Amino acid sequence: MRKLQGLRKASHFGPTLIVTTIGFLFGTYYWWEGPAYVIAFGIFCGQLIVGWTNDLYDYQDDLSHNRTKKPLVAGLITPSYLRKWIYFMTPFAFFANLFGPLGINGGLVYMLGIACGLAYNFYFKFTFASPLPYAIAFAALPSSIAISKEITPPTWMWLGGALFGMAAHFINVIKDMDQDQQSGINGLPQRLGKKRSIIAALVLIALGALTLWVNPQGF
């Protein structure tokens, strides 16, 4: 049970569940409830990879800051154990998404979002362009489901997703910003500071909401 709890915590389970739920809702709209569960399962598998690799990559930094809420630091799981699950889940997530209801095209678009999550973990969070992977990943999520039905994603869908994704990035970084700066993690929010990051997040949320509101065709 300790290892299961560790895997759950390392997955950043709250955000993972939110993203999975969003995928399920879009799945029920474009498909129906049955395929929507399969789509949600594939999305869940992809999000596990992003969360797990984030905790694995940040292990030494989390250790140096004594972040005991992190499962690796707390000793619930070991880095080698988490690495084994990442190796297992990566091909499994590809299979679940490419050969499920999303199909090859929709599955590839969604996995592009997962690739962006990994790129953020290993590179972009240190750069000025740190919001970019979030923008692409959040735009890819709903778009992949539309594409699976051979529907061109409307502008409001990918643009709104991108704006909300960037807002999520700013919000997510704020709580650990001081420690991130000490560790040399200098993404855009760290460069702007807490106050400006909060303002940026609010502006992006407002623009995202406006994008959805002005959509003349509804959902």
Query: Which amino acid type is present at position 6?
Result: G
Mean per-residue pLDDT, 132-153: 96
**Structure confidence by residue, pLDDT tens digits, 104-122:** 999 999 999 999 999 999 9
Q: How far apart are CA 143 and CA 136, in angstroms?
A: 10
The pLDDT score that the predictor gives to residue 213 is: 86
Side-chain-side CA neighbours of residue 188 (13 Å): 21
| Structural domain containing residue 127 | 2-213
Residue 218 domain-assigned? no
Mean residue pLDDT across the chain: 93
Residue 114 domain-assigned? yes
Confidence of residue 215 (pLDDT cuts 50, 70, 90): confident
Residue 219 domain-assigned? no
**Structure confidence by residue, pLDDT tens digits, 156-205:** 999 999 999 999 999 999 988 988 888 888 999 999 999 999 999 999 99
**Structure confidence by residue, pLDDT tens digits, 38-56:** 999 999 999 999 999 999 9
Q: How far apart are CA 49 and CA 55, in angstroms?
A: 10
The pLDDT score that the predictor gives to residue 216 is: 53
Number of domains within the chain: 1
The pLDDT score that the predictor gives to residue 200 is: 97
The pLDDT score that the predictor gives to residue 214 is: 81
The pLDDT score that the predictor gives to residue 217 is: 57
Residue 177 domain-assigned? yes
Residue 50 domain-assigned? yes
